[in-house]
Amino acid sequence: MNLTFFGAAREVTGSCYLVESEGLRFLVDCGMFQGGKAAEIKNRHVPRFDPETLDFVLLTHAHIDHSGLIPRLVNLGFRGRVYCTDATVDLLKVMWPDSAFILEKEAEWRNYAKHKRRGELKTETAPLYTVAQAQAALKRLERVAYDEAIQPHERVRVCFRDAGHILGAAIVEVWLQEAGQTRKLVFSGDLGMPSRPLMNDPTPIHEADYLLVEATYGNRLHKTLAATIEEFVDAINHTLVHKKGNVIIPSFAVGRTQEIIYLLTSFIRQGRIPPHTAIFVDSPMAEAATEVTLKHMGELDVDARELMAWTRHNDAGPYIRFTESVEDSMALNKISQGAVIISASGMCDAGRIKHHLKFNLPRPECSVIISGFQAQGTLGRKLVDGARTVKIFREWVPVRADLYTLGGLSAHADRDALLGWLGHFGRPPQTTFVVHGEEETAIGFAETIHKRLGWPAEVPVVGASYELKGGKAHLR
Ligand SMILES: [Zn+2]
């Protein structure tokens, strides 16, 4: 059996692993690379395997850095099925067309800019994939329930376990038969932080011959959730009650928005912020993702289900409105106080959030709450780094609003949580591969595993291919 790493090797995006065994070939994840020009080039590389010869794909979760190149794979000739959880299918119905729409717009804009610059267009850039191609790829998805064994091939048995990362996210267990022997591979996917709102804790796994474990935060400990909650409550009360302004929350549409609505509702229930606080969710994608979340309530943790029951039977809950049209979104700018506005994008670089920042940043009575990772170069990062003025829609906007940064809401397990999950293995995997972490972090986490658990751990480079034999891995 061979295992090849095509992405998320010494980096965090582009998850894609190829397993080959006696003519059988399948992928686990086929994600997009993200972050600037270099990533764009990698996304356009022709894969070093023939998509037509793949038997199937196993998909851990909906995030674009795990799923985003599947529409392209289908377009390049992949004819098989893509197995993933029920909720992942529902999320992808929203996310793939949205991703394709952005790719189409970017290509359009680039061609237009080129045309303007050179007067004529000699080579037109095509989008990586189109909305129509994304729709076609959706037809390949095959729904699988958590904890239910499936057999996508006569020699392969697969089970998806709750990873507690985002709705539908899974750890994938694979049992593969080769020459009369069964070997077990475990792909951790992205692992959630235990005790986080909405999500269950990652399912403990007890054994594997070969393990791939993510290491996004393999070198870091998150702020505690309790401290984050205190800070969040203070920010809301200080802004709405004392300063009489608005709270603006830039947020990722999938996961984070639902988590924030959950937290605000629980604060109201506990009497910690004013009842009937007005919450506006201004992002069509966040609304769609919230609908998918409500459809899959059964997969959320007990506290979330209990809080939902409380809101249904109690009218003291929040006033939540989803704005649809651009006009409704613009109308929010007429509200001078008492509103919590949640909008995308999460890094403030695109979308409706920019309007809300433009109107509320210059007002000292308002606050901006940053709850997620802000990449270098984004508007969100400039705010976090303390810029006094920022440019929005070609205008300089003074930053007079208060800025809060909440550190404890990460969707990824931190170093100790990862070690805790690894600690459930009854016997060490024969080979452990550390993936999905920046180079330094991944190498550091492999050392931590070795030091704390005594297991040797490999940190594959991109393109590395290993022969897996008798529990050992040999670089080919
Ligand atoms: Zn993820």
Give the class (CATH, top level) of 225-405.
alpha beta
Lowest mean pLDDT among 16-25, 41-50, 238-247, 288-297: 41-50
Question: Are the beta carbons of 27 and 17 closer than 8 angstroms?
Answer: yes
Question: Mean per-residue pLDDT for 54-61?
Answer: 98
Taking the centre of ligand 1 as the mean of its atom positions, its distance from the CA of residue 165, in whole angstroms, is: 7
Per-residue pLDDT band at 121 (split at 50, 70, 90): low
Taking the centre of ligand 1 as the mean of its atom positions, its distance from the CA of residue 187, in whole angstroms, is: 13
Instruction: Please choose, from the candidates 169, 225, 218, 172, the residue with its C-alpha nearest in 3D space to the C-alpha of residue 192.
Output: 169
Taking the centre of ligand 1 as the mean of its atom positions, its distance from the CA of residue 15, in whole angstroms, is: 10
Taking the centre of ligand 1 as the mean of its atom positions, its distance from the CA of residue 63, in whole angstroms, is: 5
Residue owning tokens 């992942």: 88
Taking the centre of ligand 1 as the mean of its atom positions, its distance from the CA of residue 66, in whole angstroms, is: 7
Pairing of strands 170-178, 181-187: antiparallel
Which helix (H) or strand (E) segment holds residue 94: the answer is: helix 86-118
Residue 247 tokens read as 């709270």
Taking the centre of ligand 1 as the mean of its atom positions, its distance from the CA of residue 307, in whole angstroms, is: 25
Q: Is the pLDDT of residue 281 over 80?
A: yes
Taking the centre of ligand 1 as the mean of its atom positions, its distance from the CA of residue 100, in whole angstroms, is: 19
Q: Is the pLDDT of residue 231 over 90?
A: yes
Question: Mean per-residue pLDDT for 262-278?
Answer: 94
Domain limits, the chain:
2-220+411-475, 225-405
Q: Is 463 exposed, middle or buried (0-12, 13-18, 19+ CB in 10 A)?
A: exposed
* In the chain, % of residues over pLDDT 70: 99
Taking the centre of ligand 1 as the mean of its atom positions, its distance from the CA of residue 362, in whole angstroms, is: 34
Q: How far apart are CA 99 and CA 125, in angstroms?
A: 17
**How does pLDDT run across 67-88, given as a tens digit for each residue?**
999 999 999 999 999 999 999 9
Which architecture does CATH list for 2-220+411-475? Answer: 4-Layer Sandwich (3.60)
CA 261 to each of CA 119, 166, 341: distance values in angstroms, whole numbers, following the listed order: 49, 15, 11
Instruction: Please choose, from the candidates 442, 469, 461, the residue with its C-alpha nearest in 3D space to the C-alpha of residue 6.
Output: 461
Question: At a CB cut-off of 8 Å and minimum separation 6, what does 272 contact?
Answer: 233, 237
Which helix (H) or strand (E) segment holds residue 404: the answer is: strand 402-405
Output Rg (C-alpha) for the chain, integer angstroms.
23
Q: Is the pLDDT of residue 115 over 80?
A: no
